[in-house]
Amino acid sequence: MTVFGFIAQPDDHMFLKPNVTRTAANEYGFDFRYRSRSGGDTYASLLDFAGAVKRDLRDLRPRDNIDIQSFLWVLGSDEYGG
């Protein structure tokens, strides 16, 4: 589960919503390496994706991975047309 680290330390950790994240990565053009069995490779890829987005959005001054997760949610969620 990624939610506890994300809540406790959003500067360092990320919350994984598999379907939304895969869709967001596809829309973003990022090669997100997801496997349904949780593991270090998937989480490392998630952190790489979050880092790339954070760098690309640096002009918007994202405070932490909560801002990045919000961006990914809008990009990858059906709720927002993703």
Q: What is the DSSP string of 23-74?
A: HHHHHHT------SS--HHHHHHHHHHHHHHHHHTGGG---SHHHHHHHHHH
pLDDT band, very low/low/confident/very high, at 1 (cuts 50, 70, 90)? low
In the prediction, which pLDDT does 2 show?
Answer: 80
pLDDT digits (tens, 9 = 90+) for 6-62: 999 999 999 999 999 999 999 999 999 998 886 799 999 999 999 999 999 999 999
In the prediction, which pLDDT does 8 show?
Answer: 93
